[in-house]
Amino acid sequence: MIRTTILLLSLSLALPLFAAQEVTVTVDTATKLHKNVVEVSPKLFGGFLEHMHTCIEGGLWAEILPDRKFGDTAAEGAPMGRFWRVLGDPAKVERKNNAVHLSPGGGEVGVELNGIYGVPGKRYRGTAYINTERFSGEIEFQMLHGDRSMDKGKARVPRIKGRFSTQALVAPPADSPCTMRFIVRGNGTFIIGAPTLAPASTTAGINPAVLPLLKQLGPTWLRWPGGNFAQTYHWRDGVGPRNDRPPRTNMAWPKGPVESNDFGTDEFLSVCRALQAEPVICVNVGGNGATAKEAAEWVAYCKRRGFKVKWWELGNEIYGHWEVGHSDAETYAQRALEYASAMKAADKSIKLIAVGHDLAWDRTVLEKCGAVIDCLAQHLCTNKKEYEALMAAPAHHAKFLGELREMIETACPGRDIRVSFNEWNLMGHHWHQWSLAAALFGAGLVHEMARTDGFVSYACSSDLINGWPGGAIQYEHGVAFLTPLGETLAAYRRKMPGRKLAFDGGNPALDILVTRSSSGSRYNIAVLNRDAKRDFEVKLDFGKWKPARLEEWTINSVLPDDKRDFSSLGNVPANSRTLTKGVADYRIPALAHSVTIVTFQK
């Protein structure tokens, strides 16, 4: 394998602190690249979806009614849980079979749902199952925005049974929440089942505010349903008619909304198709009553439906005491073998990812399961307090990956087992996940993973949307934005994969990654300046190859801990420019604590 080489020559450190130091990078453009040279893989830019807080419901998914199946746990003073409120006597209200039964007893009683937010300006349509066969009286319906009525109606109720839709409503500004209210008056029982309020049209049921940002990120693969949630999940809860699926308490993340199971296998794979992303499904290994037989039947279901799910992950973080079904490495390895046998019997073409952890755990799993697995999952959620330690964390983990690679070669000779780095981010205790520092850390980790020559075959930050709260996309009350980390990953995804990998340079402050197109008509230089104070200028020497045009993208801010949020969407700006003049004299402006990516073209 022939690699492009780079020579870094730093100027004297005697320059004043306020002057940018010039660094010359010599790029070998004359050597013809061998066809087997490893590329920076697009698979380093995946997405992680988990039923956690508002990652899916309240984030990815376009439905805007929380607890639409009336399944939240009752509490003192809240007989219908956290979302719905009884108007009148709670004794006249009963919840069962994804419906609420209202029995006014000659008077009136009702329910209302507050905290509803749509994407402003989008048209929404509601539906609900209605049964009035045992009711005589009238119903009053209201949709309020703050104190203002958006839609209101009162009518005598005929004897009906079935699913009915409302007129389309346009979502108002998100300055205050909307409220949906049903009040019935009369005798008997009025049944309202599984109401829904979603955009009149969607792409694969995706939230219209989130979809453009998903396209900008361009995840090449998606992992689902977890995460910790996977260790509590039973896949049959999420198939069949959506309105009939059972709501469940989210055992992994109970503080979030009740799990409606509206987003199941079919919906996940529909989203994958819409985003042209490869699906990766994580099965429940021994948690909450799960069995190998259940996992094998999930594989068979996907095969029967023609979904072509190639990659399956055998559980999540089972080494952790926080995980439902957690165990030691020996026990996990035995279970993984049982699952692998059953799942391969359902579809022998599938590939399997085992749970990885530290080297001791990994050694046991590799020795027991190395013959049947294709990948080992690794997670990194760093919690470094000092800025310098945070910037050094990617290199520290690269050292671990090198040791793991040696172990695989020893424990599993002849097996091409790779790493799926399928959860990584900051913990958020010292550096916020929406900060510039998170973006710098992410860039450094991408550089290190790219240097593994394909050993890290899959990777994604945690999470794709919202989450805990490190999502690359943040969504709330009809508004969505990319975090600085998300915007940085989107830039790398667009500009760096699919080109031949070259070496980076040697200045300790600068982490440089260089790639080029297979034809040699384009070179891409990513410069991460980890130094908190010093600016650099990077001069490029391409030899006889003379670029005529360049595109520059950079992200920076005043301080590394500056962050972007819903009240300051313009913070930590990313800027782009294109130059066609003065390209020969151009220097990459590697400002302190910044990332800059430049594409040079003939």
How many other CB atoms sit within 10 Å of the CB of residue 5? 12
539 near 585, Cβ under 8 Å? no
Give the pLDDT score at 498. 61
| Tokens describing residue 242 | 């959506």
Residue 241 backbone zone (phi > 0: left; psi -120 to 50: alpha; other: beta):
beta
- Determine the Cα–Cα distance for residues 468 and 547; give it in Å rounded to an integer: 44
The parts of the chain modelled with pLDDT lower than 70 are: 1-18, 33-38, 498-506
49 near 465, Cβ under 8 Å? yes
What's the full length of the chain, in residues?
Answer: 602
CATH number of the structural domain spanning residue 580: 2.60.40.1180
Give the pLDDT score at 473. 98
CATH number of the structural domain spanning residue 281: 3.20.20.80
Give the pLDDT score at 8. 30
Residues paired with residue 215 on neighbouring β-strands, in sequence order: none
Residue 319 falls inside a structural domain: yes
Residue 315 falls inside a structural domain: yes
Residues 539 and 430 in one domain: no
Distances (CA, A) of 386 to 120, 383, 429, 531: 41, 9, 12, 13
- Determine the Cα–Cα distance for residues 334 and 50; give it in Å rounded to an integer: 26
Residue 400, classed as helix, strand or coil, is: helix
Residue with tokens 């990459």: 588
Domain boundary residue, one of 455, 470, 491: 491
Residues 15 and 125 in one domain: no
- Determine the Cα–Cα distance for residues 84 and 71; give it in Å rounded to an integer: 10
Give the pLDDT score at 150. 87
Residue 522 falls inside a structural domain: yes
- Determine the Cα–Cα distance for residues 533 and 392; give it in Å rounded to an integer: 16
114 near 177, Cβ under 8 Å? yes
The phi, psi pair for 273, rounded to 5°, reads -65, -40
Give the pLDDT score at 474. 97
Residues paired with residue 145 on neighbouring β-strands, in sequence order: 148, 178
Distances (CA, A) of 327 to 141, 229, 334: 52, 16, 11
CA-based nearest residue to 484, from 471, 502, 468, 501: 471
CA-based nearest residue to 199, from 112, 120, 111, 113: 120
Give the pLDDT score at 477. 95
279 near 269, Cβ under 8 Å? yes
Domain count, the chain: 3
Give me the domain span that covers residue 135: 84-199
Tell me the one-letter amino acid at 437: A
CATH number of the structural domain spanning residue 108: 2.60.120.260
Residues 522 and 407 in one domain: no
Residue 69 falls inside a structural domain: no
Give the pLDDT score at 28. 76
Give the pLDDT score at 13. 29
Residues 517 and 543 in one domain: yes
Residue 22 falls inside a structural domain: yes
Residue 556 falls inside a structural domain: yes
Residues 99 and 47 in one domain: no
Residue 589 falls inside a structural domain: yes
pLDDT in tens, 396-424: 999 999 999 999 999 999 999 999 999 99
Residues 457 and 509 in one domain: no
pLDDT in tens, 482-498: 999 999 999 999 998 76
Residue 496 falls inside a structural domain: no
150 near 208, Cβ under 8 Å? no
- Determine the Cα–Cα distance for residues 95 and 102; give it in Å rounded to an integer: 9
Residues 52 and 135 in one domain: no
501 near 38, Cβ under 8 Å? yes
Domain boundary residue, one of 491, 514, 547: 491
Domain boundary residue, one of 146, 175, 199: 199
